């Protein structure tokens, strides 16, 4: 006698022997299968070779790019670095011509003037040597080199402060991602972790200096960021380097802005709390 055996008398005899937890089991199995399929997607599955024409040597080049909509956003660090599962898209933001050594962040790649092209042809192309990588993906080591080349190009072509600052900011994100990845798989030595931390700090300090200069001399939007976003970022960086007066001023400008989104105001409030705590400790 099953626990549902009385159903026959209620006109539901066809349901007398059903497994009451079966549906739930099926759903669990389906969820498991879905998770397994998601786990099988690897970084190499969501990158592809994109072709460009190099504005400096006019040759064709390929750089790896990330397929859109495949990775899931996990969260955002205080300095606005977005973290995703499967992939760190920041690794793929430098477009590099292996023939002439021209490298730039994707948003600046085509925005180059004739005098700048001349400078790169004179000061980068004759001596640059790009290491050969044959991986399906860009490793963090390779990504760091690509960012260093982008920064060298930016200095040589006398780029604006904002562009150099933005390269430094994203380089810091690469150093942080590198550190996190070797921490996660346990392959990093103490020295390597310390070196990456130091590198991240230096990049952030340069990003801070660059953005301070940029807000005095350039107009918004800056590297795709509006004034509120840049002020918030400056507040985060200023707080990191204990420039509490600058941090407080920038936080106040974000909180006092009528066009700032609730999300960035929340972040600014968290930062204000952190700055107040740190100032108390002084
Ligand atoms: Zn080229």
Q: What pLDDT sits at residue 17? A: 80
- Half-sphere CA count of 191, side-chain side, radius 13 A: 0
Beta strands per DSSP E along the chain: 47-53, 60-66, 73-76, 82-84, 94-96, 103-105
- The pLDDT, as a whole number, for residue 20 is 78
Cα of 102 from ligand 1 centre, angstroms: 6
Q: How far is the CA of 43 from the centre of ligand 1 (A)?
A: 27
For residue 117, the model assigns a pLDDT of 98
Tell me if 252 is assigned to some domain: yes
Domain assignment present for residue 242? The answer is yes
* Ordered mean pLDDT values, 10 residues apiece, the chain (282 residues): 80 81 81 75 95 98 94 95 96 97 97 98 96 92 96 97 98 98 92 97 98 97 96 98 97 96 96 95 80
Whether 71 is in a domain gets the answer: no
Here the tokens at position 99 are 């023939």
Ligand 1 centroid to Cα of residue 250, in Å, is: 40
Bridge pairing between strands 60-66 and 94-96: unpaired
- Which residues have a Cβ under 8 Å from the Cβ of 98 and sit 6 or more positions away? 61, 130
CA–centroid distance, 218 to ligand 1, in Å, is 28
Question: 196 C-alpha to center of ligand 1: Å?
Answer: 30
Structural domain tally of the chain? 1
Q: How many CB atoms are closer than 10 A to CB 92? A: 20
Distance 132 CA to ligand 1 centre (A): 16
What range defines the domain where residue 268 resides?
238-282
pTM of this prediction? 0.85
Ligand 1 centroid vs 103 CA: distance in angstroms? 8
Q: Is residue 232 part of a domain?
A: no
- Identify the sign of the CA torsion 272, 275, 279, 280: positive
Identify the CA nearest to 177 among candidates 142, 212, 149. 142
User: What is the 171 CA–ligand 1 centroid distance (Å)?
Assistant: 22
Cβ(16)–Cβ(7) under 8 Å? Answer: yes
The answer to the question of residue 65 being in a domain is no
């Amino acid at each position: 006698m099953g626990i549902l055996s009385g159903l026959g008398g209620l006109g539901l005899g066809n349901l007398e022997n059903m497994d009451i937890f079966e549906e739930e089991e099926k759903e669990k199995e389906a969820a498991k299968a879905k998770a397994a399929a998601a786990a099988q997607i690897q970084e190499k599955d969501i990158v592809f070779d994109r072709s460009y024409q190099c504005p400096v040597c006019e040759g064709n080049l390929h750089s790896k790019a990330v397929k859109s909509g495949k990775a899931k956003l996990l969260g955002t660090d205080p300095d606005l670095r977005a973290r995703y599962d499967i992939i760190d898209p920041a690794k793929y933001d430098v477009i590099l011509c292996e023939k002439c050594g021209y490298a730039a962040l994707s948003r600046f790649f085509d925005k180059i003037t004739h005098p700048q092209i001349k400078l790169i042809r004179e000061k980068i192309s004759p001596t640059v040597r790009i290491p050969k990588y044959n991986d399906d993906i860009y490793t963090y080591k390779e990504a760091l080199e690509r960012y260093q080349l982008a920064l060298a190009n930016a200095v040589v072509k006398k780029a604006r402060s904002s562009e150099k600052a933005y390269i430094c900011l994203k380089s810091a994100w690469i150093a942080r991602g590198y550190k996190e990845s070797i921490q996660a798989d346990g392959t990093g030595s103490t020295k390597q972790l310390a070196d990456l931390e130091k590198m991240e700090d230096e990049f952030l300090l340069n990003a801070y200096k660059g953005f301070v200069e940029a807000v005095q001399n350039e107009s918004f939007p800056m590297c795709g960021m509006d004034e509120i976003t840049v002020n918030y970022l400056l507040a985060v960086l200023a707080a990191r380097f204990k420039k509490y007066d600058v941090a407080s001023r920038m936080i106040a400008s974000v909180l006092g802005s009528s066009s700032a989104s609730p999300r960035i105001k929340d972040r600014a409030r968290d930062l204000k709390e952190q700055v107040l705590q740190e100032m108390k400790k002084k």
